[in-house]
């Protein structure tokens, strides 16, 4: 009887605790539903509506009505009406913008992961001035992206520091490949410290005894790095790569300030294309493009969490089991 009474009181306490947690979280969830949920649903609704225009029968400016998947098909098939969108139009720039976006994501995240791992390993060591180094590394990441882009815009200008130091006259902001490299350099300079700090947090969780035991067993520095550091820091590394990949896939301000927002530049990303379409007054087709961007980012995040995240967790569990044995 006492056990039943005790279990009954436990259930009552659990219900009360859950209710208290619900009422604490409910205001935040309500605000997020209004601030985030409504705009997302509104954008999806507008993506299925035709653009506003002049009604030939009444001569009035009216809504276009239901358009179905016309806007989505226009972006995906690059067909404006019954013909292929001519070069230079926003409809013809969708797939090149997607390719540019993924190019930036692969190159910048790869460089930032390698550079961030090296920086984290250096900052994890004990030496004089380590605290000052960790604080100074935060400076590029703390600078607003718009300020960073304007800074590098002056560096890569025709008479900027880059051309003066290299003794060249490269058009860093207009040349097809030079402008891409300019965006990559600026993005790596700004966000590699972010990767380093996330990876450093993972390195701090590795027990020092593990390295000492490896040294006693005669393991070299490379063996300690490949057999201890990389496997144990992999979960933190995967989180850093995931965050940065999702961030790069929606990149806008850095390439927009460096190379412009016309929609047909070599550094045009999908987010720049969305803004360019909105400035052209095509709010409904821009809503469809925004929805496609959301689905693209969601698919990438799902794949990375499903496969890379699961592998990281499995590796960590195997390491723990091996240590216990």
Reported as a single tens digit per residue, the pLDDT across 179-199 is 899 999 999 999 998 899 889
64 part of a folded domain = no
Give yes or no: residues 99 and 11 share one domain.
no
56 part of a folded domain = no
Lowest mean pLDDT among 81-90, 181-190, 261-270: 81-90
133 part of a folded domain = yes
Give yes or no: residues 138 and 236 share one domain.
yes
What CATH number does residue 202 fall under? Answer: 1.10.3720.10
73 part of a folded domain = no
Give yes or no: residues 10 and 129 share one domain.
no
Q: Of residues 59 and 120, which shows the higher confidence score?
A: 120
200 part of a folded domain = yes
- Predicted local distance difference test score (pLDDT) of residue 322: 46
163 part of a folded domain = yes
Q: pLDDT for 276-324, tens place per residue?
A: 888 888 888 889 999 999 899 989 988 888 876 655 555 555 555 544 4
Give yes or no: residues 308 and 178 share one domain.
yes
Give the pLDDT band (50/70/90) at residue 6.
Answer: low
| Highest-scoring range by mean pLDDT, 48-62, 84-98, 145-159 | 145-159
61 part of a folded domain = no
- The count of structural domains within the chain is 2
Give yes or no: residues 128 and 25 share one domain.
no
Q: Of residues 153 and 262, which shows the higher confidence score?
A: 153
Q: pLDDT for 272-288, tens place per residue?
A: 998 888 888 888 888 99
| Full domain range(s) for residue 9 | 2-47
Give yes or no: residues 102 and 17 share one domain.
no
Write a three-state SS string for the chain. CHHHHHHHHHHHHHHHHHHHHHHHHHHHHHHHHHHHHHHHHHHHHHHCECCCEECCCCCCEECCCECCCHHHHHHHHCEECCEECCCCCHHHHHHHHHHHHHHHHHHHHHHHHHHHHHHHHHHHCCCCCHHHHHHHHHHHHHCCHHHHHHHHHHHCCCCCHHHHHHCCCCCCCCCHHHHHHHHHHHHHHHHHHHHHHHHHHHHCCCCHHHHHHHHHCCCCHHHHHHHHHHHHHHHHHHHHHHHHHHHHHCCCHHHHHHHCCCCCCCCCCHHHHHHHHHHCCCHHHHHHHHHHHHHHHHHHHHHHHHHHHHHHHHHHHHHHHHHHC
């Amino acid at each position: 009887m006492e056990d039943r009474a005790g279990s009954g009181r436990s259930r009552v306490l659990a219900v009360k605790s859950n209710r208290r947690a619900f009422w604490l979280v409910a205001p935040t969830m309500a605000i997020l539903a209004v601030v985030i949920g409504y705009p997302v649903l509104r954008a999806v609704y507008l993506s299925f509506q035709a653009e506003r225009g002049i009604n030939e029968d009444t001569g009035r400016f009216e809504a276009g009505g239901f358009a179905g998947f016309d806007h989505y098909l226009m972006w995906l098939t690059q067909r404006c009406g019954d013909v292929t969108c001519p070069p230079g139009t926003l409809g013809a720039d969708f797939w090149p913008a997607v390719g540019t976006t993924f190019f930036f994501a692969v190159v910048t995240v790869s460089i930032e992961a390698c550079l961030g791992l090296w920086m984290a390993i250096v900052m994890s060591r004990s030496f004089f001035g380590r605290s000052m180094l960790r604080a100074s590394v935060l400076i590029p990441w703390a600078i607003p992206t718009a300020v960073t882009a304007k800074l590098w815009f002056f560096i890569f200008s025709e008479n900027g520091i880059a051309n003066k130091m290299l003794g060249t006259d490269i058009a860093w902001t207009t040349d097809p490949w030079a402008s891409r490299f300019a965006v990559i350099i600026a993005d790596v300079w700004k966000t590699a410290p972010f990767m380093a700090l996330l990876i450093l947090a993972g390195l701090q969780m590795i027990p020092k005894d593990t390295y000492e035991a490896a040294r006693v067993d005669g393991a070299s520095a490379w063996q300690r790095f490949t057999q201890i550091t990389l496997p144990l820091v992999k979960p933190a590394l995967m989180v850093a790569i995931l965050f940065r990949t999702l961030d790069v896939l929606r990149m806008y301000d850095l390439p927009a300030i460096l190379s412009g927002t016309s929609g047909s530049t070599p550094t045009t990303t999908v987010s720049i294309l969305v803004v360019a379409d909105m400035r052209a007054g095509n709010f409904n087709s821009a809503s469809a493009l925004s929805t496609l961007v959301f689905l693209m980012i969601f698919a990438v995040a799902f794949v990375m969490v499903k496969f890379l995240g699961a592998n990281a967790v499995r590796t960590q569990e195997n390491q723990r089991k091996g240590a216990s044995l």
